Chains A and B, each alone.
Chain A
C-alpha cells in the first residue's frame, strides 16, 4: 500500500460570512473508507469541495496523492471521482452523450467499466439527462465518477433525496464496486446506516471543526448507555457525555463504558444496566456535544 495519503488537508481555512471552516487537518489513507458526519451547515460540502478543487481555501494546503490541488497543473484530478447533488451534466444530452463527453478528457476511461456499471444500476443511457429521475441522476453521477477509475472517491450525500428502494440499490452497487479495497472513499452523509457497512473510520464535524475522528469499531465498543440507582440528587460521572436523572434512576451516555462502570461501582451505584448504542445514536450524542441534563 502506498504511504502517500489519498488526500491531506493541512491547516485549511475557508471563511464565508457567518461561517468559518477550519483550521482543518485531515488525511485519508489509500484504500480506506471514512464517513464524514455532521449536521447541515457544518462544512462537510465545503471540505469536499476544497479537496475537489472547487473551493480554494484562504489558508492551508490540499494535496491529493502527494500533488498539490492546483488548477494550473490538473493531473491530480484524474485520481478523483466526485459524486454530489450538483453535477453539471449537459441536460439536453443523453446520459450516454454526457459520458462520451467525459471519456474524451480522461485517459483512464473505460467504456467497459461504464457499461458494466450502467447495466448493473439499470441506468437508461439513451435518455436525456433532463428527463432522468432523481434516482437515475444519482446513478449517472456514480457512473460518471467511476468511469475513469479514480483512486479517490468523494461522495457528498449521494443518496440524498432518494426513496429507500433506489437508495438501497445505489448503495449496494456502490459498495460492490468499492469492496475491492483499491479506492479511498470519503463519504459525507447524515445517514450513518449508509456507511456503517464499510466505513473504517468516522470523522465528526461541527461548526467547521473536527470534533472527533475514531475507528468505527472502537466507537461501538466504547460507547454505552448506562442506567443506575444512587441515593444522591446529582452526580458527576467519569466519561459521561450525557446525563439524565428521572427520580431515583440516573442515566448516562458515556464514551468509555469500562471507565464509567468502574467509577459507578466506586460510588456505590446499584441496579446498573448497560446497553450498546447504535452508530446513529453515538453520532447524535457526539454532535449534540455533551449536554448535561438533569430532569426533576
Chain B
C-alpha cells in the first residue's frame, strides 16, 4: 500500500508544485492589483492580507487533489493497480490516501509559510489565524473525500436499485450536514472544529473504502 501511495505522490508531485505556483502567483497578482487600483495602500494592511498566502497554498493543494482523482479515473488506474499482486484493501486505502497526502503536504507547506510570516512580521495578531489553517485544511480534505465517495455511490447505483443505494446516499448527505453543523456551529475552539472535520473526513474515507471493496466491476 505504501509503495502505491508513494509512487502516486511521486507522479502527482509536479501537479502539486504547479498548483502551488499558480496559487501563489494568483495571490500575488490580486495583491498587486489591490495595491495599484484598490483602497488598501498602506503596508501594514498589505502585510495583514499577506497571511492569506498559506490559505492560497492550501486551496491549491485541494485543486491538485481533485486533479489526481480525475486523472486516476481517466487513466483507468484501478485496472492497473488491481492487476498487481496487492490485496484489494490496500488498493482501496491507497486510493483515498492519495489526495489526502497531497492535502497534508499542502497543510504542512501552509504551516511553514505561516511560521515564516510570523517570524518576519512578529505580529501576535497572526497567531489565531494560524490555528484556523488546520480547520480549513480538514474541511477541504472532507470535500475532496466527498468527491471520491460520490463516485463510489454512483458505481453502487449502477449495480443495485435506486432504493438499494438509498442508505449510502443518506449516509453521505448526513456527513455533509454534520460538516455544515461543524462549520456553522457555536464552537470557538479551532482545534476542536479541526478535529471534528478530520474525524468526518476519515469516516467518509472509510465509507469509500468499504464501497470500493464491494464493487464487482473494476474496469473503470
- Residues on A lying within 8 angstroms of B by beta carbon are 49, 52-58, 71-75, 77-78, 80, 82, 86-93, 101-102, 104-106
Contact = CB atoms under 8 A, between A and B. Distances in A.
A interface: dominant SS: loop
A74 B219 contact: no
A87 B79 contact: yes
Interface string B62-81: 00000000010001111111
Nearest to B80: A88
A89 B75 contact: yes
B76 A86 contact: yes
A58 B216 contact: yes
Given A87-B79, A88-B75, A105 B85 contact: yes
8 contacts: A55-B219, A74-B84, A77-B83, A82-B83, A88-B75, A88-B79, A90-B75, A104-B3
B14 to A, nearest CB: 8
B162 interface: no
B59 to A, nearest CB: 23
A87 B85 contact: no
Contacts of B89: 72
Nearest to B77: A88
B119 to A, nearest CB: 36
Interface string B47-60: 00000000000000
B128 interface: no
Nearest to B219: A54
Interface in B1-32: 3, 7, 11, 14
A105 B82 contact: no
Contacts of B75: 88-91
A104 B217 contact: no
B80 to A, nearest CB: 3
A77 B84 contact: yes
Interface of B: 3, 7, 11, 14, 71, 75-89, 215-219
B93 to A, nearest CB: 13
Contacts of B76: 86-88
A97 to B, nearest CB: 9
Given A88-B81, A104-B7, A49 B219 contact: yes
A95 B15 CA distance: 19
A90 B11 contact: yes
Nearest to B92: A71
B85 A74 contact: yes
A52 B84 CA distance: 10
A54 B7 contact: no
A57 B77 CA distance: 21
A49 B79 CA distance: 10
A71 B85 contact: no
A73 B11 contact: no
Contacts of A72: 87-89
A74 B87 contact: yes
Contacts of B218: 53-55
A106 B216 CA distance: 24
Contacts of B219: 49, 54-55, 86
A232 B77 CA distance: 63
Given A86-B219, A90-B11, A54 B84 contact: no
B217 A105 contact: no
A105 B87 contact: no
B154 to A, nearest CB: 16
Nearest to A49: B219
Given A86-B79, A87-B80, A88-B75, A77 B85 contact: yes
